[in-house]
Structure 1
Amino acid sequence: MSGHPQQIDGIHILTGEPIRLWIDAMGQIAKTERLTLQPNNKLDWLAPGLVDLQINGHGGIDLNTPALTVQAVKDITRKLWLEGVTTFCPTIITNNDDAIEQMVRTIAEAYSSDPLIARSIAGIHLEGPFISPEDGARGAHGKQYVKAPDWELFQRWQHAAGGLIRIVTLSPEWDGAYEFIEKCARSGVIVSIGHTAASPEQIGRAVAAGARMSTHLGNGAHLWLPRHPNYIWEQLAQEALWTCAIADGFHLPASVLKVFMKAKGEQLMLVSDAVYLSGLAAGEYETHIGGTVVLSPEGRLHMADNPGLLAGSAQMLTFGIDYLVRSGLCTEGHAWEMASIRPARFMDLPVQHGLSVGAPADLVLYNRQDGRISMQTVIKNGHRVECGDPG
């Protein structure tokens, strides 16, 4: 990683126009201008850095182990930069109380140890343990640790995290859930509905209490649901809820993603929900949660003894962007916006201003190789990360 680049040229991902950006010594975009290109000039695409609100691990680093170290958090952050992800939410799933406390404390220590790491972490996403205990809705979360929302316990974790927990995924089917949601909302913590078996009425009450998001809607759900009403339709219909979706082509079919896009409009965001096997070679792996799993050459992660059952997500946001474009669901600029500007806007992050003057210089330059997005340069807060450089 080198010093501050002064000038960046590229094709603006949203306008398709060649532009030049100047970056000041504070790591902000100081000036932009439109370029006139000669016919033989070729520029890479220039886009805002990606913002992923749900990362469980990547590149062999698992955020969901009590053995997590400060160095591992720094390393995964750098690995994510190389994938174009300049801002993310480390996501801690259901576990025992002490393990959750230890993991959020470690992430907070990494956050405090390095300003550039801190600028990369939008907050911790606590996915559980206040979720549905029912099979299907619970997903891969350990049933023995699932419990009702507990404000005192959450405060203990928030204290360990130094206030860094920004999102809590829960199911409002529990007694006391609405009071918990109200307390979260008053304290600035975003409540997201997910891994739920809640009734439409319970979802409506949760939104009224302050819930604002749906976690990977359509996944972490029962295999069979009533035709209507059900908790997927209800969340789509709740105008106050922003929706996260995994668009890798394995978790949701294109038709469902198309409906989500039409129903939620500007409130649909992409997440990867990537586990630590993302970024690794295809093959068979032993995991501490799901046992033996297989990562296929196509990028699908499934149980070894049941290929029909997914074992998590093993792809980055660019994979989802590619899938949306390849499926003809939207333009590349539109898909990129769902994975960058929208989540940043939802979280009220400075990077929501994208490639505008005054925004942090969180940028990527990329082109396409064999039909796939290929990162060429990533810039985090004005600092250049050459792709292929381990950081």
Structure 2
Amino acid sequence: MTEPIFSADEAADVDIDFRSLPKVSLHDHLDGGLRPATIVELAAEVGHELPSTDPEALGRWFRESADSGSLVRYLETFDHTVAVMQTREGLFRVAKEFVEDLADDGVVYGEVRWAPEQHLARGLTLDEAVEAVQAGLDAGVEEVAAGGRPVQVGQLVTAMRHADRGQEIAELALRHRDRGVVGFDIAGAEDGFPPSRFKDAFTYLAEHQFPVTIHAGEAAGVDSIVDALVNGRALRLGHGVRIAEDIQVDFDAGAGDQQEPGQEQSSLAMVTLGRVASWVRVRGIPLECSPSSILQTGAIAPFGEGIGSHPFDLLYQTGFKVTINVDNRLMGGVTLSDEYELLVDTFDYDLDDLLEITLNAAEAAFLPLEEREALVEYITEGFQARES
């Protein structure tokens, strides 16, 4: 189908305290959000060697490694974070601080994803690992609530795509569904490890009405998204930005006087959606977009260079359910507030745009309907209070 997309008449004039806005975080990895100082202290406790024992220098190493353009070096960063998350104490501390950092950034609802199967090297069982993280999350929620900052956090239990433990991890997630686990994910190398590898696990989860989000449309293209929707029964797409490969933009369409019936004249371009893109948009399948992370991993390459070439605005302007996320705060050196500000600076968004995008995330949260409605109301009131 064909839809018009319009260019902004002028840059938005905004003065926003981004950190104070009530926000929703749907795509945030636990092993990508540690504080450098915590890594240094936990590494000393378990005898793990780091590139630096100075927190400031270590934080800089993580950011530079993530920006290096080398996938090998990027993945090396997780070797160090996962290494210090192999004990109950380590998982508890990291999870607790994770919640504190979310609250400091104005997040009122967050889903934290992580792969328990990667945290068994020092003798923890899968269930013990999940329980340790949940204890840390609960402690963090309790502490920030005592300071007058309400926040709600749920676990997304993740299976690694290259491993063969999908069914086992799916059963793990279900065992903890009423004890903090709100959904299931698969992560890791997307290209070459499609969701269909875990087809039976996804069927099992669907039979038990348990929600799924899947990394798709980042390192691989539209076929990966189709696999996530068909075999994975995904309710959300992790990143999903390469759905834009199924969108055709005609920058000359708005220049002529002739229009097809039902089309509107555009000052910028005419956008035609392919079947997959149309399916995702019409059904309102949320996209967990992480602007800075996509630049680091190179998923933006098919569309150009730099944040200005990011397909986020194209997707937003054409009605996709885009959401804003950080992916890995440590490696990206960004907060969710930073990502909001980046998009405002790049695409001239105003407070109404940010509210719409934030409500997309609230409505996509893996929460019961009544809780989602309450979250939407809370966020709307929070934004309106900042307009007055």
TM-score range, shorter chain: 0.5 to 0.7
Structure-2 change in CA distance of 1:186 and 1:200 (3 Å): same
State the Cα distance separating 1:272 from its structure 2 match. 0.7
The equivalent of 1:333 in structure 2 is 352
Structure-2 change in CA distance of 1:242 and 1:160 (3 Å): closer
Comparing 238-247 with 318-327, which one deviates more in the overlay? 238-247
Are 1:58 and 1:80, in contact at CA under 8 Å, matched by a contact in 2?
A: no
Q: State which of 105, 126, 135 in structure 2 corresponds to 1:83.
A: 105
Task: Look up the SS of the partner of 1:126 in the other structure.
Answer: strand
Structure-2 change in CA distance of 1:208 and 1:226 (3 Å): closer
- Correspondence 1:1-391 to 2 at 5 A: 48-56=21-29, 57-60=33-36, 64=82, 65-67=85-87, 68-93=90-115, 95-96=117-118, 98=120, 101=126, 102-113=128-139, 116=142, 120-130=151-161, 146-148=162-164, 150-159=166-175, 163-170=179-186, 173-175=194-196, 177-194=198-215, 197=220, 200=223, 203=226, 206-207=229-230, 210-218=233-241, 234=276, 237-238=279-280, 239-240=282-283, 241-248=285-292, 250-251=295-296, 252=300, 253-255=307-309, 256-265=311-320, 267-275=321-329, 277=330, 312-338=331-357, 340-347=358-365, 348=367, 349=372, 350-355=374-379
Deviations 1:192-220 (A, max 9, x none): 2315758739826734763111102248x
In 1, Cα distance between the equivalents of 2:247 and 2:18?
43
Structure-2 change in CA distance of 1:212 and 1:254 (3 Å): farther
State the Cα distance separating 1:104 from its structure 2 match. 2.3
In 1, Cα distance between the equivalents of 2:337 and 2:383?
14
State the Cα distance separating 1:161 from its structure 2 match. 7.2
Uncovered stretches (5+) of structure 1, i.e. residues with no partner: 1-15, 17-41, 131-145, 278-311, 368-391
In 1, Cα distance between the equivalents of 2:114 and 2:327?
11
In 1, Cα distance between the equivalents of 2:112 and 2:362?
15
Are 1:92 and 1:125, in contact at CA under 8 Å, matched by a contact in 2?
A: yes
Query: Size of the alignment, in residue pairs?
Result: 264
Taking structure 1 as the reference length, the TM-score comes to 0.54
Comparing 195-204 with 147-156, which one deviates more in the overlay? 195-204
In 2, Cα distance between the equivalents of 1:200 and 1:242?
17
Percent identical across equivalent pairs? 11
In 1, Cα distance between the equivalents of 2:205 and 2:334?
31
In 2, Cα distance between the equivalents of 1:88 and 1:341?
13
- Structure holding more helix per residue: 2
In 2, Cα distance between the equivalents of 1:201 and 1:80?
30
Structure-2 change in CA distance of 1:354 and 1:323 (3 Å): same
Comparing 99-108 with 321-330, which one deviates more in the overlay? 99-108
1:59 aligned partner, one-letter code: R
Structure-2 change in CA distance of 1:198 and 1:217 (3 Å): closer
Aligned CA-pair RMSD: 4.4
Task: Look up the SS of the partner of 2:153 in the other structure.
Answer: coil
Deviations 1:208-262 (A, max 9, x none): 763111102248x9xxx9999xxx9946742432111112383543331222223
Taking structure 2 as the reference length, the TM-score comes to 0.54
Are 1:58 and 1:76, in contact at CA under 8 Å, matched by a contact in 2?
A: yes
Deviations 1:263-296 (A, max 9, x none): 443x111111124x3xxxxxxxxxxxxxxxxxxx
Task: Look up the SS of the partner of 2:96 in the other structure.
Answer: helix
2:23 aligned partner, one-letter code: L
Are 2:141 and 2:152, in contact at CA under 8 Å, matched by a contact in 1?
A: no
Task: Look up the SS of the partner of 2:316 in the other structure.
Answer: helix
Uncovered stretches (5+) of structure 2, i.e. residues with no partner: 1-12, 40-80, 249-273, 301-306
